[in-house]
Chains A and B, each alone.
Chain A
Amino acid sequence: MLKSFRLGGIHPPENKISRGAAIEQLPLPESVVIPISQHIGAPAVAIVAKGDSVVVGQLIAKAGGFVSSNIHSSVSGVVTAVGDFVDASGLRRVGVIIKVEGDTWLEGIDRDSSLNKICDLEPKEIVSKIAAMGIVGMGGATFPTQVKLSIPEGKKAVYLIINGVECEPYLTADHRVMLERAEEMVVGISILAKALGVVRTYIGVENNKPDAIAHISKVIAEYPNIDIIPLKVKYPQGGEKQLIDAVVALEVPSGAIPIEVGAVVQNVGTALAIYEAVQKNKPLIERVVTVTGKKLEKPSNLMVRVGTSIDSLITYCGGLPENSGKVIGGGPMMGRAMCNLSAPVTKGTSGVLIMPSEESLRRSSSVCIKCAKCVGVCPMGLEPYLLYKLADLGRLADTEEHKVTDCIECGSCSFTCPASLPLLDMIKLGKNEVMKIIRTRK
């Protein structure tokens, strides 16, 4: 029997329409907008000014703290502004705007595609190189990778778990990376394993990607400490705690992080970025983005420079279809609906999903019939119907008591609710309020 996480879970329609589309390089844009905050944590501090010339891979903003990340230029050209732009949610953010001229790369970046398996660096040097190259978690959470690799005092990393689950419907970027870049990715994984000093490494891949499983199995044949674990298809298996439970059957305690059980989880895209950073000196300046939708002319997986506008991706894939109702950054379960398509692709943009208008509206909600389906599907063992009601009533102490802070916001409850109640909306509001209270206690 295939492994999976034990509590809850759902099976949304997969709709992986772009799974067969090989990764294509998107042509260089005319200009890019590179936000100084593309990660969780403190924004980076810009070190270039209007009028400066920059080349590809040049550091343009320095990490603004321990939990922060360096930002590099993804193009060569001239900085036209360091200032406000409007992001995909319509909010004003700070970014570096660069007019593209040619494609000159920083000296020292190895653009040769030959595979380099040998890494002589010490674990500490690997981590600092990863930090220098601005690597963040590319599964969507964008947590600075060097922070995740810095094991706290007294803890030890035993398992490295590579997340090739891609449980979000529609998205295929990780799938294509596993098919087309597996050799490099696996070297990246072995570098990660070395940096962490782990005993075992597992690559978790859902069984709906048999080609990727077969291919990776061949590639890892020469790596005795790396195993691939095919997983039963179930959402949200890509959630960190769910993946650890699925692969090594360990439950990360409530409120703790994975290292508590000796596990570190990294996404396959991150592993590839780490290979390029450590072996090729290439900072995180481009990533694979799935551009997809049922009505889109050419669903694709594109290699895109960070800072490229979302609408140029859509134009490349045939343009916005008639009757498009919603454009989502990321997958349909946890992605964000966008209102401004001139916003840039960032390090965390795994997909652009265009939904036809008939699928964009929610059903009107009715009363809770206590069917307990939300309780049954919650992967954290919470009671969404109750949290919804408690949050709605403003009973924050009770909301906290019922573990609202454990909610991973996967949306399984809202997905499954036959009364179409906005369960997760209300739970998120309650969780935010509770988090505010918790922060004031410290």
Chain B
Amino acid sequence: MSNKFIVSPSPHVFGKDTTSKLMRDVLIALLPAFVVTVVIYGMQALVLTGVAVVSCVLFEYLIQKFLLKGSNTINDYSAILTGVLLAFNLPIGIPIWMVVLGSLVSIGIAKMSFGGLGRNPFNPALVGRVFLLLSFPVQMTMFDAPDMVRDALYGATDAMSGATPLAYVKDALKNGCSVSEIMPNISYQNMLLGIKSGSFGEIGALALILGFVYLLVRKVITWHIPLFIVGSMTLFTGALWFFNPEQYMDPIFHILTGGVLLGAIFMATDYVTSPMSKRGMMIYGVGIGVITILIRVWGAYPEGISFAILIMNAVVPILNKYVKPARFGVSK
């Protein structure tokens, strides 16, 4: 036998995961939420998502080709994912040019200026969103409630129909209302189904949870980060609520509003900007949960998870350096 053989070190078989397959799975997991959004907000949701995706992909392509002069990277689906996540974090009434600008910040500043996929310290979609929120606070907080939401909230106060539940509650509490006065205007059932105002991708809680289950089944992510975010928020707000139920909303309210599920499941779990060890993931999750509630209850903004995730993104390198996985055979 004088055949020539391929010789390489072990292993000789490999798993099926590739970067683009994982990114595609995240996109698939976002589909249910996308469907809910399109049902409730109509074509405009489709248009905004389309614009965000096309501009993210285009910016990455152009920057990679003309500035970094590297090989084409748009086939890995990560730019598409950034586009979808950015869009999901925007209010439905936002002008198109702002979406394009947000995409430029997400891809150009948050991602490509660090060298592209795998090297960015902050979640690109969130950087884009926060940039827009700080630059255009009016447009970014005008949550135009769609007809379906108005109908469902028939009888609710005017304030409720336009504002997000979080903003509405924060305002009402500031104006001296008590929780028992507010509660009749809040429907958890509608929140689960997506019938509420908000950034358009965060509204359908059940759809987002369905996506979470898909990600777990496909082993794209582990449960640690989302559960520790939601768990720490539950404990924190639960303690406040238990202490004074007339002044603080209950944990369910906090979890179903303000993009917590979208953030916990899809943004905080972004591979590149989250910790490498399970223990690091737990600390990171608790950090996000606690900071979110601090901002919501005592801060200036009604929601807080975008800031919380970005702040904890900054802590990730330290977590990776000091919080190591449980080693085999090393006493703990």
Contact = CB atoms under 8 A, between A and B. Distances in A.
Interface of A: 7, 10, 12-13, 89, 169, 241, 245, 251-256, 311, 314, 320, 324-328, 332-339, 341-342, 353, 355, 357, 359-363, 366-373, 375-376, 378-383, 385-386, 403, 406, 409, 411, 414-420, 422, 424-425, 428
A420 B14 contact: yes
Contacts of A332: 10-13
B246 interface: no
A133 to B, nearest CB: 30
> For the complex, would chain A's binding face be called helix, strand, loop or mixed by DSSP majority?
loop
Contacts of B117: 367, 369
A418 B17 contact: yes
Tell me which of B7, B222, B275 has the highest count of chain A C-beta atoms within 10 A of its own C-beta: B7
Given A320-B1, A382-B327, A383-B324, A325 B6 contact: yes
B201 interface: no
- Which 6 A-B pairs give the minimum distances between C-beta atoms? A411-B11, A381-B327, A418-B17, A367-B118, A254-B329, A371-B271
A252 B78 CA distance: 41
Interface stretch (B18-26, B164-172, B234-242): B18-26
Contact of A363 (B14, B118, B325, B331): B14
Interface string B242-280: 000000000000000000000000000001111111100
Contact of A383 (B15, B273, B277, B329): B277
Contacts of A324: 3, 5
Contacts of A7: 326, 328
B247 to A, nearest CB: 40
Contacts of B222: 376
B330 interface: yes
A366 B119 CA distance: 13
Interface string B222-235: 10000000000000
Interface in B102-138: 116-119
A403 B328 CA distance: 10
A222 B201 CA distance: 66
A372 B22 contact: no
B13 A381 contact: no
Given A7-B326, A241-B329, A337-B7, 9 more contacts: A326-B8, A370-B276, A381-B325, A385-B276, A406-B328, A415-B11, A415-B13, A420-B18, A424-B9
B277 A375 contact: yes
Contacts of B14: 362-363, 414-415, 417, 420
Contacts of A355: 12
Tell me which of B7, B10, B15, B331 has the highest count of chain A C-beta atoms within 10 A of its own C-beta: B10
Contact of B22 (A253, A361, A367, A371): A371
Contacts of B328: 7, 241, 245, 251, 254, 379-381, 406
Nearest to A409: B10
A334 B3 CA distance: 23
B327 A380 contact: yes
Contacts of A320: 1, 3
